[in-house]
Structure 1
Amino acid sequence: MKNLLLIGLFAIIFFNMGTNAQTKTGKKGILLITFGTSYPEARKAFENIEQKVKTHWPDVDIYWAYTSGFIRKKLAKQGIQMDSPSEALAKIGEAGYTLVAAQSLHIIPGAEFHDVVHTVKGFSLVQKGVGKTNMGRPLVSNHEDLQRMARFFTQQLPVSDDEAVVLMGHGTHHDANIYYPGFQYYLNDLSDRHYVATVEGYPSLDNVIKQLKKEHIQKVTLTPFMSVAGDHAQNDMAGEEKESWKSQLEAEGFEVDVVMKGLAEYDEVVMIWIDHLKEAFDEL
């Protein structure tokens, strides 16, 4: 509802600017949309994505939007201004772009992704001058995506018989949480030592710990199944508090290693998002 109100507001503000935008028919732009992060060391993942996007579309302007109002407010206090998707789309329309390809940097097509889809698709209906908007799929949304990610992790983080890798996903109460246990099935096709668990969904860390004990695992490598190694990775996964995944695993007797690297820092993973953006861009 909040996004729809913002769309309506910006449509009124820029209504009279439509004729100027229409004089630049066919001008294309790219909008990259993510939850966001306030960790400076994690933002290098977004810099990597932008560099790859620029390589593929050197003559197209790139805009960014953060969906998290909390993150935007926190960054604003640091003097860093980030737009919401509605704000970014309004600026794009004002700048005269008539064709916009938006790429979600979310992992699964959950509630937040669908909110963004409604915002992006709705904007072309109310923003005068914006002729068409297309939305790229999130990281894993079909069979091929899941296969590519399973191959990537099993090759990127190989293990021996008494070792295992545990990926920390966010999880959600949305029906799309099914992608996490679904992804586990794809991992199982290639390895019985790679697991995915979630912070807020199923499977949980407790579910995975049972499997680790059953398989007599001695050493566990933790790494985020998230676009950036932000707050969840730094604190919930690898923090020193007793509730962190690292501390819980150590309390269960496992040796724990951490790979503090977001998915967007891996070029192979970024290429999946690039492929999805290409689909959206080519259909403009």
Structure 2
Amino acid sequence: MQYRFGDRFRILPALVLVLLLALPSFAFAGHGDAAPVKKGILLVAFGSSMPQAQASFDAIDKAVKKAFPDVPVRWAYSSAIIRHKLAKEGKLIDSPVSAMSKMMDEGFTHVAVQSLHTIPGEEYCGILETVEKFEGMPKGMTKVVVGKPLLYSNDDMQKTVAAVLSSIPKERTKKDAVVLMGHGTPHPANIYYPASQYYFSKADPNIIVGTVEGTPTLDDVKAMLKKRKVKKVYLMPYMSVAGDHARNDMAGDEPDSWKSELTKAGFKCVPVLKGTAEYPAVLDIWMDHLKVAYKHLGNN
């Protein structure tokens, strides 16, 4: 079969279209070379300098590697204070920037970054601003998707309430109160703590939410406990890890700890030193967010 000169110009656009459709399975590297898609996961926690907090991180790491057995997993801490403290002890932990830079150098083209924070506050917003800059960077990554923190949507709130309720010590009775200590923040996202109180109150009026550095405060917690006329209080972290805040500010023996303050106020306190990530039902919510983020990576 012979083609006239004009036929070549009709065939050429079709050939170009075929080539373009073949491109999505590759991420272009420099100098015209095409690098195959390489997916990875970056887990970003606030971090902790306390060895006891490692139980939460181990639980998360194990769950992620079980769900994504063939995907490389990296870690980073968003807190510079925690990283510097650990560095003095000889433990080097990447920041989100350094972790992403290393992954870029290793040839990762598609990365799901999962926030292990409780609320979409300052730390989460910092992750968004940082890691998304690596998408589309020259010789950078083709696609970066950030997974939501524990509490983000109305559905998250309801699931978290159910998960926390299922994780309360079995010996606790309905007459006993459960005080959940959250971190708190000056960021507008602090509203998630009063919102949590609303959802918990609907499920169990003796579940009370407080924060270390935001609102509701310990004074608010005391007032609610007195109003409910309870005698026994279970103290539980409303944070992914049972780190410094949980072990010192919440359950410590110092005069200004929550346990000491509430004991002086006449309540019998029972600290529960487990981070929320140590409870499978709560961890599943973070895992669901990661699965959604990873799915949205696609292949191009």
Q: Do 2:167 and 2:279's aligned partners in 1 also have CA atoms closer than 8 Å?
A: no
Q: Which runs of 5+ in 1 are unaligned?
A: 1-16
2:195 corresponds to which letter in structure 1? Answer: G
State the distance in 2 between where 1:282 and 1:56 align.
13
Which runs of structure 2 are paired with 1:54-133 in the superposition (5 Å)? 54-126=65-137, 128-133=139-144
State the distance in 2 between where 1:146 and 1:161 align.
22
Aligned with 1:112: secondary structure?
helix
State the distance in 2 between where 1:21 and 1:29 align.
23
State the distance in 2 between where 1:87 and 1:127 align.
17
Q: Which runs of 5+ in 2 are unaligned?
A: 1-27
1:43 corresponds to which letter in structure 2? Answer: Q
1:137-168 per-position Cα deviation (integer Å, ceiling 9, x unaligned): 00010111111111122232264243100000
Q: CA deviation at 1:22?
A: 6.3
Which runs of structure 2 are paired with 1:1-284 in the superposition (5 Å)? 18-19=29-30, 23-126=34-137, 128-157=139-168, 159-284=172-297
Q: TM-score, normalised by structure 1?
A: 0.91
Q: TM-score, normalised by structure 2?
A: 0.86
Q: CA deviation at 1:128?
A: 1.6
Structure 1 residues 127 and 269, CA gap change in structure 2 (3 angstroms): farther
Q: CA deviation at 1:177?
A: 0.7
Structure showing greater radius of gyration is 2
State the distance in 1 between where 2:177 and 2:82 align.
33
Q: CA deviation at 1:21?
A: 11
Structure 1 residues 265 and 203, CA gap change in structure 2 (3 angstroms): same
What percent identity do the matched residue pairs reach?
A: 48
Q: Do 1:18 and 1:128's aligned partners in 2 also have CA atoms closer than 8 Å?
A: yes
State the distance in 2 between where 1:282 and 1:254 align.
48
* Residue-pair matches, total: 268
What residue number does 2:22 align with? none
State the distance in 2 between where 1:251 and 1:18 align.
64
Q: Do 1:220 and 1:256's aligned partners in 2 also have CA atoms closer than 8 Å?
A: yes
